[in-house]
Amino acid sequence: MGKRQIPDPPNFKKYGVPFYSVAWIPQHVVKSRQIETADESSDSDHSTSPATEAEKEPATVAGNYLLFAGGGGAGHSGIPNALVIAHFDVASNSLSDQPVCKLGTDSELPYRMALNSNGDGLICAMETPMVCRWFDWDQNKSSEIHKLSLKLSEKVLSQLEDVGQQLALAFNNDGTALAAGGEDGNLRVFKWPSMEIILNETNAHSSLKDLHFSSDGKLLASLGSGGPCKVWDVSSSMVLSSLSNENRETFSSCRFSQTNDETLILYIAAMTDKGGSILTWNTQTWERMASKHIIRDPISAFNVSADGKFLACGTPSGDIVVVNSTNMQIHTMIKKAHLGIVTALAFSPDSRAVASVSMDSSARVTIIEEKKTNGTCIFHSLLTC
């Protein structure tokens, strides 16, 4: 007898598109498009009833929509290029079986994307052709329940036309600045939405891989292939520090975060002689504070939760590792969370869940909850493997 196939857990779904990017859709965007949820319907039916403990929980249901981007490219592989919206239900720890919206982009592959926090829409860097497109939020009114949707905008980003492949895109937290990093090493920062150029450095790096603004938007970290990582003062367009890979590490991702006492630090995911590691820098002295080996494999995707408590790493073999930032110890490891390389990770705005995507066309959400044991609070990841 053959082996019985184990069904995929409900928090893991395949949507037929190899994914390169993932983001949580801001709650106010969802609410403004009047998406009806079961909780909202229940509230309207029982508006005069006392709220239950479950109803008093933080309102996260309305915001649990995710956006994925990717595709098969410009060839005739039959694999579509698309932006995909899916719903995640916290109570059942499950992703929707079918997309809420799937917007095909024809022969254009959306490789990188950045959502504007003000709800304006999102920008996608297309791999084929090498242009940036703007997409607006829309509403599908053809069904009884008005579902969140997307449409290609009439807005033309002329400043990002004919500039080659953009490998990194980032908005600052208040959505007033947009940074774009090119395969040719050119770094551009614009005011948004005017697209007035703030910074234009043609040789920032040999090739630009990652960008991240500090929470106050004053600093921008840019990371190139092979290193170093440069930190820019956005207002003056000057380099404050160039963080070198002095031990021949290969830098892969950079993220600003804050410690418990609100001290700003910079994390860099890197491949060292020991394996995938996380390096930490002091943003006052720009001295290296620590280097922590996490996993044997390289880190193919990296992100930090908004509250700074957790770091997430993805690997080429499909593993997901969640690290506690306080002690830099592994909090949760999910072996073979995906069958292919983990291409992107995104924490939910409330830091209670992390979404991961892969080139194997899969998406996964892992919930992280606080659990009290013997009067002591520990963090426990609710996994369905």
Q: Residue ranges of the domains in the chain? A: 8-38+62-164, 245-369
Contact 353, 88 (CB under 8 A): yes
- pLDDT tens per residue, range 180-213: 999 999 999 999 999 999 999 999 999 999 999 9
Instruction: Name the residue with higher pLDDT: 53 or 325.
Output: 325
Residue 34, pLDDT score? 54
**What architecture is the 245-369 domain classified under in CATH?**
7 Propeller (2.130)
Q: What is the pLDDT of residues 128-176, one digit of tens each?
A: 889 999 999 997 666 545 589 999 999 999 999 999 999 999 999 999 9
Do residues 356 and 370 lie in contact, with contact meaning Cβ atoms separated by under 8 Å? Answer: no
How many Cβ atoms from other residues are within 10 Å of residue 138's Cβ? Answer: 17
Cβ-contact 342, 314 below 8 angstroms = yes
pLDDT of amino acid 144: 47
Residue 118's beta-bridge partner residues? none
Say whether the peptide bond before residue 129 is cis (omega within 30 degrees of 0).
yes
pLDDT tens for residues 287-302? 999 999 999 999 999 9
Closest alpha carbon to 170 in 263, 268, 255: 255
DSSP conformational letter for 52? P
Q: Beta strand 94-95 with 82-89: parallel, antiparallel or unpaired?
A: antiparallel
User: Is the separation of the CB atoms in 306 and 257 below 8 Å?
Assistant: no
How many H helices and E strands in the chain? 2, 30
Question: Is pLDDT above 90 for 43?
Answer: no
Q: pLDDT band for position 115 (50/70/90)?
A: very high
- The fold of 8-38+62-164 is Methylamine Dehydrogenase; Chain H (2.130.10)
Q: Taking Cα atoms as reference points, which of 211, 213, 125, 131 lies closest to residue 172?
A: 213
Report the pLDDT value the prediction gives residue 317, as an integer from 0 to 100: 97
Q: What is the mean pLDDT of residues 246-266?
A: 93
| Cα(252)–Cα(242) distance, integer angstroms | 15
DSSP, res 17: S
Cβ distance 271 to 299 under 8 Å? yes
Q: What residues pair up with 222 in beta bridges, in sequence order? A: 211, 230
- Domain 8-38+62-164 matches domain 245-369 at the CATH topology level: yes
Residue 77 pLDDT: 76
**Phi, psi for residue 37 in degrees, rounded to 5:** -120, 165
Query: Which of 291, 289, 332 has the alpha carbon at shortest distance from 312?
Result: 332
Better-predicted residue by pLDDT, 51 or 325? 325
DSSP-based three-state secondary structure for 227: coil
* Whether pLDDT at 377 is above 50: no
Give the tokens for residue 189.
Answer: 């920062």
